[in-house]
Amino acid sequence: MREESRSSDDGQAFERTVLPHLDAAYNLARWLVRSPQDAEDVVQEACLRTLRFLGGYQGGDARSWVLRIVRNTAYSFLEKRQPSELAEEFDETVHVAREDPPDAEAVLLQSAESLMLQEALEGLPIRFREALILRELEGLSYKEISEVLEIPIGSVMSALARGRARLREQLLRTREREVPRGLRK
């Protein structure tokens, strides 16, 4: 009877602590491993790890704790598959929320801009990409990013500043290449 009660308590703790953060976990995993299927595997493995280590969770920011486990799981996954990780194709449909735009020109411009941003993000070194994803897409604070990445807040600030600068440079280079082709007004 005690075993069933403990198992039920673990399930409830898992639901309260981990489940609210599954979307953020998948999003981070997707950007790190660059494949929807692999991201699902990473999140599943991370969930198993969180369940295994739930007894050691001391409270605090559950989102940071879960994302740190997802990040570590993703890095373990990437270490096993190293060169193929770089060759994975980016699936635009996973990250771009589509609305019905009013006209074809707006669709073309929005699509081109989204693609440029996604390609620029994909081209960043992983340490900059993950910091930008956690801050700009997931809305984590510097302190939370520091906890997830296990680096000092100053390093988070530096990674964000450098990542933003490199992202800006890549976008400008891409835009300069696209203007002669007539994709910009």
| DSSP code per residue over 62-108 | HHHHHHHHHHHHHHHHHHHTHHHHHHPPP-HHHH------SSHHHHH
In this predicted structure, what is the pLDDT of residue 134? 93
> Quick one: 56 and 110 in the same domain?
no
> Quick one: 62 and 116 in the same domain?
no
In this predicted structure, what is the pLDDT of residue 143? 93
Averaged pLDDT score across all residues of the chain: 79
**Nearest-angstrom CA–CA distance, 136 and 173:** 22
Query: What range does the domain containing 68 cover?
Result: 1-89
> Quick one: 127 and 84 in the same domain?
no
In this predicted structure, what is the pLDDT of residue 69? 93
The pLDDT tens digits for 53-110 are 887 887 788 899 999 999 999 999 998 886 544 444 444 444 444 444 455 555 555 6
> Quick one: 108 and 38 in the same domain?
no
**Nearest-angstrom CA–CA distance, 92 and 111:** 10
- The domain boundary, picked from 36, 60, 89, lies at 89
- The domain boundary, picked from 57, 89, 121, lies at 89
Long-range contacts of 143-151 (CB under 8 A, 24+ apart): 144/61, 144/63, 144/64, 147/61, 147/64, 147/65, 147/68, 148/64, 148/67, 148/68, 148/71, 149/68, 149/71, 150/68
> Quick one: 106 and 130 in the same domain?
yes
What's the pTM value of the predicted model, to 2 decimals? Answer: 0.69
The pLDDT tens digits for 127-150 are 899 999 999 889 999 999 999 999
Paired tokens of 20: 């609210």
Average pLDDT (14-39) is: 90
- The domain boundary, picked from 55, 89, 123, lies at 89
> Quick one: 156 and 119 in the same domain?
yes
With vertex at residue 124, the alpha carbon angle to CA 120 and CA 125, rounded to the nearest 5 degrees, is 170
The set of residues, in sequence order, having a beta carbon less than 8 Å from that of 121 and lying 6+ positions away, is 31, 129, 132, 133, 167
Tell me if 42 sits within 8 A of 29, measured CB to CB. yes
> Quick one: 182 and 98 in the same domain?
yes
In this predicted structure, what is the pLDDT of residue 183? 54
**Nearest-angstrom CA–CA distance, 134 and 127:** 11
> Quick one: 157 and 135 in the same domain?
yes
> Quick one: 85 and 1 in the same domain?
yes
**Nearest-angstrom CA–CA distance, 121 and 10:** 38
> Quick one: 11 and 26 in the same domain?
yes
Kindly report the CATH number assigned to the domain that includes residue 106.
1.10.10.10
Average pLDDT (41-59) is: 88
Structural domains of the chain, count:
2
Q: Which residue has the tokens 């929005």?
A: 110
Phi, psi of 133 (to 5 degrees): -65, -45
> Quick one: 76 and 100 in the same domain?
no
